[in-house]
Amino acid sequence: MLTEFITEFAIKILDTAGYAGAALLMALESMVAPVPSEAVMPFVGFQVADGKWNLLFSIIATSIGSITGSLASYLMGYYGGKPFVLKVGKYLLLNKKDLEKTENFFRARKGIITLFISRFIPVVRHFISIPAGIGKMPIIPFLIATITGATLWNSFLLFCGMKLREHWTIVQKYSHQIDIFIILGMAIGIGIFIKNRLKERRSSQITQ
């Protein structure tokens, strides 16, 4: 299963590189790499529970990682996102209208709230920084929402790992189910998006 593979990879990094490894994994998690925090932070909690790592240092290291990855994605969208979308968007069933909606959304005040909430949503938090950058969301609100949301979420998972140290088999059991729901949800969402976009294209061709 996907979760088992990522979990084994995360454990090796944490055992080998310590706090720096935790920061690296969370930086990847905050970008587009398939490294979910649910497969990293509980094991950081294990290290703390076993007395190998310091709680405060663990939170600081993983928060720095989350901020670094998120900022990299934000800058990617800020400086290169729009030309990229306009150039290859037609192959992804995206168009200029989609880009304008994204820009307007993140320029609006509610973009800050959405960015904060997205830090607690699987899959979404991997990508949310890119549209924030494309939409030219101000850097200070972006950093505030990212630091607050990411630190709260990382800390929550870390404490879960500390509490569930002796019951990890149960967590693994439910993580398999989470994999299935995430994949199904993504497939359904992509299917609906493609269907609506093709419908819009057919309508525009008829009216032309």
pLDDT tens column, 1-23: 555 666 677 778 888 889 999 99
The radius of gyration computed from the CA coordinates of the chain, to the nearest angstrom, equals 19
pLDDT at 148 over 80: yes
- Among 47, 54, 58, smallest CA distance to 19 is for 58
Token pair for 112: 């800050």
The CA angle 27-118-151, to the nearest 5 degrees, is 50
pLDDT tens column, 100-121: 665 665 665 567 787 888 787 7
- The pLDDT score that the predictor gives to residue 170 is 63
Separation CA 1–CA 18 (nearest Å) = 25
Give SS3 for 53: coil
Residue with more model confidence, 33 or 180:
33
- The pLDDT score that the predictor gives to residue 134 is 81
pLDDT tens column, 129-142: 878 888 788 889 89
Of the pLDDT bands very low, low, confident and very high (cuts 50, 70, 90), residue 64 is very high
pLDDT at 82 over 80: no
